[in-house]
Amino acid sequence: MKQTQRITQNLGLAQRQIQAMNLLAMSTIELGTYLEEVALENPVIEVIQPDIEMSMPQGRGLFLPGVQGDVLQDDWLDNKLIDGDAVDKEAYLLGQVDLGRLTRDEARAIRYLIGMLDENGYLLQSVEQAARSLDIDRVVVAAMLRLLQSLEPHGIGARTVRESLSLQLAALPSDKEVEIALSIVRDHLPLLAKNRIPDLKRAYPKVPHQDLLKALELIRSLDPRPGSLFAVDRTQYVLADVIVEDTPEGFEVKLGPAGGYDIRLDGVYRTLAKDASNSDTTTWIEAKYRQAYWLRSCLKQRRELMLAIVQQLVQRQKAFFSFGPRHLAEATMSQVAEDLSLSVSTVSRAAKGTYVQCRWGVFPMRSLFSHSSITRSAASGDPRVLLREIIAAECQEKPLSDQKIVEEFAKRGVELSRRTVARYRQELGIPPASQRRYR
């Protein structure tokens, strides 16, 4: 009996060790999804989101887990658009309208409404304001707004985030998943914005947790900025897990905006366990608390390990952090693992999907490790390295446009197209010139 118990305990310990390693290897997005799934099954857990604010139209600020400012969900767009092409907003939208069937006032109204869309695709005026400006019947303007909101990209012409997400969901084939998602967006968007998954679960007690998860995933797949299709530069941003700052006292390593995932424990269930007359209920609640304590410990270990690895990288890559990418030195995972008395596999897992920010930009942690046989060639031959140096040396009051960067490459004997420069810049998480300007 005792031997069987020891075997069971050992198996449980081994399983938790495997889970801890898997947790360590998760990217920020994967970790967020995992924690939400755990919170749905464990009511004592509340997920604490990283402190990331998504830039939305004024008065519509909202953070949606999984639909973050660092990565926009634009997979449905043509790849050419992702490469940096801009689309003429009016031509694209009016191309979907049979103008020959519209009256003169209807044509004026639809053109006016398109002109009143902001850069995110939201309508800046009410129907009444537009009707007064055009001096035409409000009913005509309302009908043209409905027409505008039926066009692609879905969600265009909305007045609020809630309306935009609802329009996108309404355009999908109706099924149980869509109905749940519509209900969440319509009635519980503040809970979703704060990632109050346990509260959402309580709001839908009859909905199986897998169906609720699918609905949340569906909402995450929506685009809260449908007008980004028409932006001149649709950069995809990467937020750092760890930040390295150059201070007068030396390099300071700290958690970045994407590295702050944590959980808090709801003490109400502890009280319920004490008051419960059913021993099975008490046992169940205590098991949930044990899982929560273990998970919180794993998250703490994950954060500490990321910081420790980057601190060692700073020691071995001082020239890189001081002078830029061309000064990348040899620093293998084996060396850092030995420095920290860890296995190479542990360092490798921690580096997977982790990003480090410094004065030279945002880098995948893996790119800061190297093998001696490729270090020098990678540092000298990759145009992305040169791109970082060009941007690092630009005047902050007048940053270089993509075309100017093309010209800088040409001066150095490297021929690149503007589109290629834009793609490299997007891959490196470098914003466009308009957003790099010093203010």
Which tokens hold the place of 354?
């982790």
Residue 118 lies in a domain: no
pLDDT exceeds 80 at position 6? no
pLDDT exceeds 80 at position 155? yes
CB 336 within 8 Å of CB 310? no
List 64's β-bridge partners, or say none. Answer: 67
Q: How far is CA 429 from CA 102, 103, 236, 401, in A?
A: 44, 46, 6, 15
Which tokens hold the place of 205?
């007690």
Q: Are residues 369 and 420 in the same domain?
A: no
The DSSP call for residue 417 is -
Q: Are residues 287 and 265 in the same domain?
A: yes
Q: Are residues 345 and 425 in the same domain?
A: no
pLDDT exceeds 60 at position 235? no
Mean pLDDT of 140-156: 93
Mean pLDDT, the chain, integer: 77
Residue 431 lies in a domain: yes
Q: Are residues 273 and 247 in the same domain?
A: yes
Residue 204 lies in a domain: no
The DSSP call for residue 419 is H
The domain boundary residue, chosen from 373, 394, 410:
373
The pLDDT assigned to 141 comes to 95
Which tokens hold the place of 155?
């969600």
List the one residue out of 78, 65, 158, 61 whose CA is nearest residue 118. 158
Residue 291 lies in a domain: yes
Residue 112 lies in a domain: no
List 265's β-bridge partners, or say none. Answer: 45
The pLDDT assigned to 9 comes to 43
Q: H or E stretch including 262?
A: strand 262-265
Q: H or E stretch including 385?
A: helix 383-392
The proportion of the chain whose per-residue pLDDT surpasses 90, expressed as a percent, equals 21
Which tokens hold the place of 254?
């700290």
Lowest mean pLDDT among 144-158, 184-198, 206-220, 377-391: 377-391
Task: Please indicate whether residue 415 or residue 235 has the higher confidence score (pLDDT).
Answer: 415
Residue 122 DSSP SS3: strand
Give the span between the Cα atoms of 325 and 369, in whole angstroms. 12
Q: Are residues 399 and 368 in the same domain?
A: no
Mean pLDDT of 185-193: 85
The pLDDT assigned to 88 comes to 72
pLDDT digits (tens, 9 = 90+) for 11-61: 344 556 666 777 787 877 778 778 888 888 888 888 887 765 433 333 332
Lowest mean pLDDT among 257-271, 289-303, 310-324: 257-271
pLDDT exceeds 90 at position 165? yes
Q: Are residues 423 and 336 in the same domain?
A: no
Supply the range of the domain harboring residue 434.
Answer: 382-439
The pLDDT assigned to 238 comes to 64
Task: Please indicate whether residue 304 or residue 213 has the higher confidence score (pLDDT).
Answer: 304
pLDDT digits (tens, 9 = 90+) for 117-134: 888 899 988 899 999 988
- Tell the burial category of 358 from Cβ atoms under 10 Å away from its Cβ (0-12, 13-18, 19+): buried
Q: Are residues 415 and 349 in the same domain?
A: no
The pLDDT assigned to 437 comes to 63
Q: Which amino acid is at 162?
A: R
CA end-to-end span of the chain: 71
CA torsion 231-233-234-240 (nearest 10°) is -140
Give the span between the Cα atoms of 168 and 152, in whole angstroms. 10
Whats the size of the chain, residue-wise?
439
pLDDT digits (tens, 9 = 90+) for 371-382: 433 334 344 456
3-state secondary structure 305-371: HHHHHHHHHHHHCHHHHHHCHHHCCCCCHHHHHHHCCCCHHHHHHHHCCCEEEECCEEEEHHHHCCC
Which tokens hold the place of 352?
């997977």
Q: Are residues 326 and 249 in the same domain?
A: yes
Q: Are residues 417 and 337 in the same domain?
A: no
The domain boundary residue, chosen from 344, 373, 402:
373
Give me the CATH number covering residue 387: 1.10.10.60
Q: Are residues 288 and 394 in the same domain?
A: no
pLDDT digits (tens, 9 = 90+) for 77-89: 233 233 334 457 8
pLDDT band at 169 (very low <50, low <70, confident <90, very high): very high
Q: Are residues 246 and 368 in the same domain?
A: yes
Q: How many domains does the chain have?
A: 2
pLDDT band at 361 (very low <50, low <70, confident <90, very high): confident
pLDDT band at 231 (very low <50, low <70, confident <90, very high): low
The domain boundary residue, chosen from 326, 352, 373:
373
pLDDT band at 350 (very low <50, low <70, confident <90, very high): confident
Residue 76 lies in a domain: no
Q: Are residues 397 and 438 in the same domain?
A: yes
CB 62 within 8 Å of CB 56? yes
Task: Report DSSP letters for 35-94, one per residue.
Answer: HHHHHHH-TTEEEE--S-----STT----BTTB-TTS---TTS-HHHHTT----HHHHHH
pLDDT exceeds 60 at position 392? yes
Q: What residue spans of 204-258 are helical by DSSP H?
A: 209-220
The proportion of the chain whose per-residue pLDDT surpasses 70, expressed as a percent, equals 79
Q: List phi, psi (to 5°) of 243.
A: -120, 135
pLDDT band at 70 (very low <50, low <70, confident <90, very high): very low
pLDDT exceeds 90 at position 311? yes
pLDDT band at 152 (very low <50, low <70, confident <90, very high): confident
Task: Please indicate whether residue 419 or residue 243 has the higher confidence score (pLDDT).
Answer: 243
Give the span between the Cα atoms of 62 and 417, in whole angstroms. 37
Residue 222 lies in a domain: no
Residue 81 lies in a domain: no
CB 200 within 8 Å of CB 180? no
pLDDT exceeds 70 at position 257? yes
Of the segments 37-46, 313-322, 404-413, which one has the largest average pLDDT value?
Answer: 313-322
Of the segments 101-110, 323-332, 368-377, which one has the largest average pLDDT value?
Answer: 101-110
The pLDDT assigned to 92 comes to 82
CB 30 within 8 Å of CB 250? no
List the one residue out of 93, 68, 156, 71 whose CA is nearest residue 119. 156
The pLDDT assigned to 103 comes to 92
